[in-house]
Amino acid sequence: MVDALRSAGRVLRSRGRIVDLRPANGYKPEIVIRRGPRRVEVGPIVRDPDPDVAAATRAVRQVVRAGEFAVVHAARPRWRSTYADLRAVENTLAESEHWHLPAATRRRIVREGRPGDAREMVGVLSLNVLRRR
Amino acid sequence: MALIERGVRLGGKDVLEVGCGNGRLTLAYAGRARSVVAIEPNAAIVARARARARSARLRRVRFAARPAQTGIRGGPFDVVLFSYSLC
């Protein structure tokens, strides 16, 4: 990961920026159904402990401490991603080996969801913007 | 997208996106960037991203199936965006 940051630094213009967007350490995403103003909390998405997320945090800290990059912006924004149906939710989760839809949450999506409802995944991200020093 | 643009503007910029997946994020900003190179190691997923970009008639975005370890090259770029890929 440190190598990836250094490679990125080599292809940047002098005033260029590196953006590191990823799940925040230890956050727990969940599924919510929205029907107009009504909001139903359906249940959690299981996210395996991902050692790579912690390693990425360490990598950013390492290159900053070494004086190679400086952090110009850091935030932990909440994110929300909207899906029309259960299949779209499952397709998205299938792209990550670390995220799984528990059977109980899936059952509640089926039970609570109506055509026209929005199925939302909500969680917390880590956003770092770096510049080369 | 608004989350990212709180920290850096992508409009008019040359962007390298590392780990673009199916292009969901890429398509959200590619219309405003000057150019986008989006890399992702999984060739099947890259094919899906290309198809989405074609459907959206985006011409300034180029997708390539290559991993971050060897794929961060070319440029120079104004922004290198690791979307869920530094980890």
Tell me the residue type at B1: M
pLDDT 10s digits, B4-34: 888 899 999 999 999 999 998 999 999 999 9
Q: Is the pLDDT of residue A104 over 90?
A: yes
Return mean pLDDT, chain A: 91
A129 in contact with B, Cβ within 8 Å: yes
pLDDT 10s digits, B37-52: 999 999 999 999 999 9
What does DSSP assign to residue A68? Answer: S
For chain B, the structural domain boundaries read 7-66
**ipTM score above 0.85:** yes
Calpha distance A112→A89 (Å, rounded) = 15
- For B7, which of A13, A22, A129 is closest by C-beta distance? A129
Show residues of chain B in contact with A53, CB under 8 Å. 87
Structural domain tally of chain A?
A: 1
Question: What would the mean pLDDT of A36-40 be, rounded to a whole number?
Answer: 91
Residue ranges of alpha helices (H) inside chain B are 2-5, 24-29, 43-55, 68-71
- For B87, which of A53, A75, A77 is closest by C-beta distance? A53
Fold annotation for B7-66:
Rossmann fold (3.40.50)
Q: Is the pLDDT of residue B85 over 90?
A: no
Cβ <8 Å between A11 and B74: yes
Q: Rounded to the nearest 5°, which phi and psi values hold at A4?
A: -65, -40
What's the confidence (pLDDT) of residue B87? 61
What distance in Å separates residue B83's CA from the closest CA in chain A? Answer: 5
Q: Residue A34 is part of which domain span?
A: 2-132
Q: Tokens 């499952």 — which residue?
A: A90
What's the confidence (pLDDT) of residue B4? 87
